[in-house]
Structure 1
Amino acid sequence: MNECSEAPREAAEVTTSAGHRLHIRHATPGDLHLVNQFHAQDCSPASRAARYHAGRSRIRASEWRNLTHPDKGYTVLVSVPGQDRLVGLAHLFWQKSAPPEVAILVADDWQGIGVGRAVAGWLVGLATAHGHRVQQAYIVPQNVRALRLAQHFGAVVDHVG
């Protein structure tokens, strides 16, 4: 059975702890240009390295097709309602022999105001709706914010690097 077939794929809205409303929608293969623009214009090399554990400036088309394939999990885009510009990108990946992996990238200008926590809460709710009470995150030890976020949601943390 396809785990993703039971959960709705419609958009949602969440509010950060700082009171910012955010729009979350499921990514499509056609969003690659928007996502690569987000990486290049809104995320510093340090932010991208913290997310990908490597120096990357873009996602290749073949990777994006994989990331947006419904059997792999969920990839979502985060924006301010009514705006096309992204403030975040997040993933909930199904894994065969481990809890689902949660991964989040937040635009530099939007870090530290609760975007990651709001999006992670939404993803954890989605994972829970699929019967997964525990999630997994791969985090470099220096990424204190991500470690705190993972601890808050009870994620299994695997240190990378």
Structure 2
Amino acid sequence: MPAAALDDATTYLLASGELTLTRLARADDLDQINALHARCTLATRFSRYQAARRDLRPAEWRQLTDPARGTTWITALAGDPEQAVAVTHLMRTDRDGVRELGLLIEDSRQRQRLGTQLTGHAIAVMTGADNRAMLTIARNRGAVLPLPTSSTVDLDIPVAG
């Protein structure tokens, strides 16, 4: 991670005591993101994408890092800023004032408060009805969980201000 990117990074402390750095993602981060995907289990990738994704294609990553479509952040451990441990997407939707939040967190970094910390500015979450981790994060952020009627659940999370 270049020094300028480190200056703009936000730090989060994991329950394990490890410090992370979160910064805006760039188009040239695709290799790091695909390496993150490779370290995640199929179950983790399925929870994120509702499909058995192995990686992202360059065109997909360009869309996810296009500011006109939303915002994507990359998170790494402070001691190893070149190895992503999480990626967060907050993307525009066709509904005015609603964004879609997506998180992919490396398995070994899950359940350490990182997902909750990265969810900080979320407006809307779409996740699998059986994705207990994301449902817990959403509930902790004030979402009212509807009764699931399919394998996907749409949640609204109130944001102060």
Is TM > 0.5 for Structure 1 vs Structure 2?
yes
Give the equivalent residue in structure 2 for 1:3. Answer: none
1:156 positional shift: 7.0
Matching of residue 140 in structure 1 with residue 154 in structure 2: no
1:1-161 paired onto structure 2 within 5 Å: 10-40=8-38, 42-83=39-80, 84-98=82-96, 99-121=98-120, 124=121, 135-155=123-143, 160=152
Amino acid at match of 2:12: V
Question: Any conservation in 2 of the 1:15–1:118 contact (CA below 8 Å)?
Answer: no
CA distance in 1: counterparts of 2:144 and 2:99, whole angstroms? 10
CA distance in 2: counterparts of 1:69 and 1:15, whole angstroms? 28
CA distance in 2: counterparts of 1:155 and 1:73, whole angstroms? 22
RMSD: 2.1
Question: Any conservation in 1 of the 2:77–2:84 contact (CA below 8 Å)?
Answer: yes
Aligned-partner SS, 1:87: strand
- Using the aligned pairs only, state the percent identity: 30
Give TM-score scaled by structure 1 length.
0.79
CA distance in 2: counterparts of 1:92 and 1:20, whole angstroms? 24
Give TM-score scaled by structure 2 length.
0.79
1:88 positional shift: 0.6
- Report which structure shows greater RCO (CA 8 Å, sep ≥6): 1
Q: Which has the higher strand share?
A: 2
